[in-house]
Structure 1
Amino acid sequence: MSRLIVVSNRVSAPKDAGESSTGGLAAALSAALRRYDGIWFGWSGETTETFTGELKMEDRAGVTVALVDLEAQDVEEYYNGYANKTLWPLFHHRVDLTAYEQSYGQGYERTNARFAEVLAPLIQDDDIVWIHDYHMIPLARDLRRLGIRNRIGFFLHTPWPVRQLLVTLPFHRRLVESLFDYDLLGFHTQEWLDLFRDYVTSEAGGRQVGDNGMEPSARRCRAGSSPSGIDVDGFIAARDSALGQRTYDRMAASSAFRSMIVGVDRLDYSKGLEQRLLGFQQFLEDNPSMRGEVFLLQVTPISRDEVDTYQDLRARLDASAGHVNGAYADMDWAPVRYLNRTYRRDQLAGIYRAARVGLVTPLRDGMNLVAKEYVAAQNPEDPGVLILSRFAGAAEELREALIVNPFAREEVAQAIHRALTMSRDERIERWTALMAAVRASDVAIWRDDFVRTLTALPGKGEAASDPD
């Protein structure tokens, strides 16, 4: 049986098979690697004075992990630079925040070539290689240059940008054409896939072949949309665990006689956190009789704090939360509880279950699994209501949520009021449909479908049949 090699910027395989804080994607990929006797390859997170390509091999709960250190310059240019200051804001339509530095692009190319040089000797003839996310777009091209002809798949976990913005990127065509060296490309939604196809046909001289094939520049690859999800049963088990139940009890007691709204997002401008606070403030302004009866718990772990844009965002959010509390709080009630800390998955499950409303309002998001976690955490007999941005990839599936435009604070305020006053029968009806959609995109289903499709394709060294 072929081995599976998973490649990502950072390796998140759990060190303990029972580690309940591990996310669904990491758990699903780890399970697949155990099944296929595979390897998870990526950056160690550590720096070295001189790049040697030396691998650190570890066993993490039955998963073989291969880690490599990078030079400090690589980290600054490839990771902090091109990945997080160029591609991330561009792919989320924040051209105003996108840094077009030549050194960043050069570091990105150099570091991916180094990854390829270290990874190539690990790849055996029948291995299947699955590369994840925008950090490693050119990796298949670099592996092909080293003679690797195995089946290689790629999955993008962010949105794909509209062509008119993508062309602002210097050497955009070279970046996109490096994707043509993959056998299979995966996107979360049909919208992201359609935007990719639009670029290929308009800018790269390609054409669509059948329903799922793309033939750019005489090279053929298959591309499709496949929404990822959560480990549904694992998340429900985390919710029902001792810590999950204790967290629920604690939050239920803390919100006694009040309705809790919850938002959980890492600190990022794509999550719409400033707009969310404005929407909640508008709700308080429009509904004075409900003040004191509801509060927003916003959990926002700090991320990328070495990037100036994120430092500025953190300062603005601190000020905004303080402004709302200063304007509306009473001696025994604060409308916003704003926390910059990380919680375990079982704790989050308990928090979600205690919340009457889940507020998930990104400005642009590849998928957003918090929305699916909130649904899975609910009590079927008395579920909460999900409010979801139309610009989250999850909105394509979770149609029974209250779908909102996060840029329109009045619309968000009205949705909050509707969610808090919704009848139990309607809440159950909506939750039942949402839960069915969450189960249909369980992360194990998504994983197995991708690997099965990739395995069935001819490799770059084999004769290709029509991919439709």
Structure 2
Amino acid sequence: MYHIFYFGENPVLRDRGGLWIGWLGTKEFPEKSHLDRILAEQSSLIGYRLEPVHLTPEEVELYYHGFSNEILWPLFHDLFSRCHFNPSYWDAYENVNRLFAQAVADNTDETDYVWIQDYHLILVGRELREKGIKRRTGFFLHIPFPPLDIFLKLPWRFKILEALLQYDLLGFQTIRDRRNFISCVRVLHGYRTSGRGSVRRIITTDHQPLAGSFPISIDFNEYAQHAS
């Protein structure tokens, strides 16, 4: 399944148990009985459940290759010349994030903590709130968050920023990334922040998310085993 081996999360799920919801990483839809058997076998090996989200070839092209990797990834890495701002990409990005939000709603309850990973799924927290689905939510960005002058080039900057503010906890790789995010929040929305250290509270009109820098490491034992 796509994203299944973000090495920072795999040990947590393996040790504590849980459910990973993800795209299969293929445009083909396997037969259900065959897929169920494969997922059951993998779940027994890794120690947590797997729940697939099916995407059509068009969704993969517009959402994954399009908005995620022709807009967000290059822009957030300050590669503006490589961005392709196709409006149809945004529609697909919203639709696929709704699919993931529905999968979260169908497979979790209010006692669960939902931890969303990376720029492909920024809108999931917003979609859950709009559906009235109460979950404790966190989001971690595995790529840099751009400074204000770069972020302003994103046509959907307000929608992306508002969606990020729907999470209870926002995680960034570095203090610089967190500072860039808070700078965008202050300038574009006028929200205040409180707190000191690596975690700050953002004071919005109806929500007070926390934003912190949490550097993520590789799974040393995993790499050492493969290298031996």
TM-score with structure 2 setting the length: 0.87
Give 1:12's match in structure 2, choosing from 4, 8, 21: 4
User: Counterparts of 2:206 and 2:218 in 1: how far apart (Å)?
Assistant: 37
1:225 matched to 2:225? The reply is no
SS in 2 for 1:153: strand
> Match for 1:177 among 162, 171, 187?
162
Query: What amino acid sits opposite 1:155 in the alignment?
Result: F
Question: Does residue 186 of the first structure (1) align with residue 166 of the second (2)?
Answer: no
- Which consecutive residues of structure 2, in runs of 5 or more, have no partner in the other structure? 30-34
Q: Which runs of 5+ in 1 are unaligned?
A: 1-8, 14-24, 50-54, 242-468
* Offset at residue 154 of structure 1 (A): 0.5
Change (3 A) 1:56 1:100: farther
1:64 pairs with 49, 67, 77, which one? 49
Residues 291-330 of structure 1: pairs in structure 2 closer than 5 A: none
Q: Aligned-pair distance for 1:48?
A: 5.8
Percent identity, aligned pairs only? 35
How much has 1:37 moved relative to structure 2? 2.7
Structure 1: how far apart are the matches of 2:19 and 2:115?
11
- Change in Cα spacing, 1:236 to 1:34, as seen in structure 2 (3 Å) is closer
1:137 to partner: Cα distance: 0.5
State the superposition RMSD in angstroms.
Answer: 2.0
Which of 120, 123, 129 pairs up with 2:114? 129
- SS at structure 2 position matched to 1:40: strand
Name the structure 2 match of 1:319.
Answer: none
Q: Which stretch has the larger CA shift, 31-40 or 179-188?
A: 31-40
CA offset digits 1:90-113 (Å, max 9, x no partner): 001111111111101111011101
Q: Which amino acid aligns with 1:109?
A: E
Q: Is the CA contact (8 Å cut-off) linking 2:3 and 2:22 kept in structure 1? A: yes
Q: How many Å separate the matches in 1 of 2:15 and 2:53?
A: 24
How many pairs does the alignment contain?
215
2:22 & 2:219 partners in 1: Cα distance?
Answer: 23
Aligned: 1:216 with 2:204: yes
Q: Which residue identity does 1:229 align to in structure 2? A: S
State the alpha-carbon separation in 2 of the partners of residues 39 and 201 from structure 1. Answer: 35
Structure 2 contact 59–92 (Cα < 8 Å) conserved = yes
| In 1: Cα distance, 2:212 partner to 2:86 partner | 32
Contact 1:56-1:66 within 8 A present in 2 as well = no
Which residue number in structure 2 is paired with residue 100 of structure 1? 85
**1:39 aligns to 2:29 (yes or no):** no
Q: Secondary structure in 2 aligned to 1:10? A: coil
Change (3 A) 1:231 1:171: closer
Which whole-Å CA distance do the structure 2 matches of 1:238 and 1:45 have between them? 23
The alpha-carbon deviation at position 237 of structure 1 amounts to 4.1
Separation in 2, partners of 1:192, 1:36? 28
Aligned residue identity for 2:19: I
What's the secondary structure of 1:200's corresponding residue? Answer: helix
Q: 1:125 to 1:236 in 2, by over 3 A?
A: same
- Counterpart AA for 2:24: S
Q: Is the 8 A contact 1:11 1:41 kept in 2?
A: no
Partner of 1:151: 136
Secondary structure of the structure 1 residue equivalent to 2:116: strand
**Rounded Cα–Cα distance in structure 2 between residues aligned with 1:88 and 1:166:** 12
Q: Shift in Å at residue 219 of structure 1?
A: 2.0
- Write the distance in 1 (CA, Å) between the matches of 2:157 and 2:179: 18
Post-superposition shift, 1:217? 3.8
